[in-house]
Chains A and B, each alone.
Chain A
Amino acid sequence: MPETLTLTVNGQQLQVPSGATVAVALNILGQPCRTSVSGQPRGPLCAMGICYECRVTINGIANRLACQVLCTPGMEVQTIV
């Protein structure tokens, strides 16, 4: 079994494999990362830091790219919805 770690997404606790990015954690939960300016749900498109569709708030810092940040134990992620 791979090692896992626990983080919080929108107040909900979630276990992910260690090495998972925040974008992966959100996709496992089936949650979008953000709501677009016209109200559409959006998830990652490029998964490499280009498209900015996956931006979320991580540990209080807004607009972090979920695809480029690794999950850490106790991390708090808030989606922009």
Chain B
Amino acid sequence: MCNAHTHNYDVLILGGGPAGIAAASAAAAPHTSVAIVDENPTLGGQIWRNSFAADVSDPAAHWYQRIQHSPITRLHDLRVFHAPSPGTLQAEAGNGLHTLHYKKLILATGARERFLPFPGWTLPNIMGAGALQNMVKSGLPITGKRIVIAGSGPLLIVVAAYLKKHHARVICICEQAPLRQLLPFAKGVITNTEKLSQALQYRLQLLTVPYRAGWWPAIARGQSQLETITVTDGARRYIIPCDYLACGFHLVPNIELPSLLGCSQSNGFVKVDTTQQTSIPGIYAAGEITGIGGLEKSILEGTIAGYSATGQSTAAQQLSAARSKSLRFASAMQRAFALRPELRRLPAPSTLVCRCEDVPHSHLVSHSSWRSAKLHTRCGMGSCQGRVCGTATEFLYGWPSESVRPPILPVRLQTLAQAEDPASQELSTAI
């Protein structure tokens, strides 16, 4: 075995976003080895991307301080692709295979944006709402750029505020959910004082941006990149010239690794008990993968998971009331941003649904299952392994997602060759 790296930890945390950071802080103690594994070059996940260095008044800074002063190992640029046996994971880094052994595992793999196909959606400069924010956080100059924000979820408002602050021309926000569906949630948000101040802050920054509830993107046009986006409310249509379309339809959990480990799920989320333990003893889950609920829920659940994994059950129990409250918030949000059926009729026959293999809608409608579509059209068989089209086909055609198989990410053959254990033989027969 060459270039192989082996790590042993008492508590291993997958995901360096708020849930993972809170879990690590709670688990950190003398004589307990704790590590966070993340795919990105820095900690913070999506919401706290690059916010540690920028502004000490950012709430992220508090957590960063805690992490800095705790004996926590950070393993960056590591992508976990296989769980060969209980207590062991395999990951790939730039320098090859890493084998990670753990006693307790905390999954905090977060969420991604849901993308839905509509004519023209594959044009460059159409990206997720969070994606465009990530690009700006990573140095993309956005001053004066004309941006339409569309899709669904509270993230659209957060991103609009962020882009405006960076001097972009945010033309409008199109939220697919109708106002009557949003109102009960908005009332719930406003009875919560902490969230009220957040909501007001965004509102002030957004004063000049029209928020159109019950509108959605219909057709994107452009030669080599996006030039216009047509938005509709089902009756009217507007063609809006723009430089970027930031478009995501709320969030879906990154469930591949919990699925590979065999953690039970309910409605597409990882099932946990009040200690954040999954159906597998010693494996915990926290944050968006147990239900989309935002920052506060992630921090709470991460903290509970960190305490529970290290036997601090009293400390974990003290947070149970707050946990119940955040779960109620999460389910109210799920109802508010439920997708409208009209979105199923957005793709034209020639609209690509699978962007890796360029499979159009017309080739998919006749299939009865995800498996049949995969075998006959290669939909979902490309590099992203169905992470983008799988959530779309589930919504468009009602195909439930199927079991995942290792490697759950594209991995270099050289890395696979470094793995010598029996599990890697299983892997090599799988590829």
Contact = CB atoms under 8 A, between A and B. Distances in A.
B355 A46 contact: no
Contacts of B388: 45-46, 50-51
A46 B112 contact: yes
Contacts of A32: 124, 224-225
Given A19-B138, A41-B225, A52-B410, A47 B131 contact: yes
B11 to A, nearest CB: 24
Contact of A40 (B50, B122, B141, B383): B122
B355 A42 contact: yes
B140 interface: yes
B384 interface: yes
Nearest to A64: B94
B224 A20 contact: no
Nearest to A52: B383
Interface string A44-56: 1111111111010
Interface string B70-99: 000000010100000000000000000000
Nearest to B356: A52
A50 B254 CA distance: 9
A17 B79 CA distance: 26
A55 B134 contact: no
Contacts of A63: 383, 410
A42 B139 contact: no
Interface stretch (B39-47, B55-63, B272-280, B364-372): B39-47
A41 B355 CA distance: 11
A39 to B, nearest CB: 9
Contact of A19 (B50, B77, B115): B50
A6 B382 CA distance: 33
Contacts of A53: 355
B138 A24 contact: yes
A69 B40 CA distance: 8
A52 B112 CA distance: 13
B124 A41 contact: yes
Interface residues of A, number: 34
A53 B115 CA distance: 13
Contact of B139 (A17, A51, A55): A17
Contacts, number: 107
B102 to A, nearest CB: 22
A47 B128 contact: yes
B407 interface: no
Among A30, A40, A46: residue with most chain B CB under 10 A = A46
A37 B39 CA distance: 27
B387 A70 contact: no
Given A28-B140, A28-B141, A43 B125 contact: yes
A37 B139 CA distance: 29
Contacts of A20: 138-140
A44 B355 contact: no
B39 A49 contact: yes
B227 interface: no
A38 interface: yes
B127 A45 contact: yes
Among B79, B113, B130: residue with most chain A CB under 10 A = B113
Interface in B346-388: 352, 355-358, 382-384, 387-388
Contacts of B315: none
A36 interface: yes
A16 interface: yes
A12 B85 CA distance: 47
A68 B40 CA distance: 6
Contacts of B79: 49
Given A51-B355, A51-B384, A42 B135 contact: no
Interface string A1-39: 000000000000000110111011001101010001110
B37 interface: no
Interface of A: 16-17, 19-21, 23-24, 27-28, 30, 32, 36-38, 40-53, 55, 63, 67-70
10 contacts: A19-B138, A28-B140, A32-B225, A43-B124, A46-B128, A47-B138, A50-B112, A50-B384, A52-B356, A63-B383
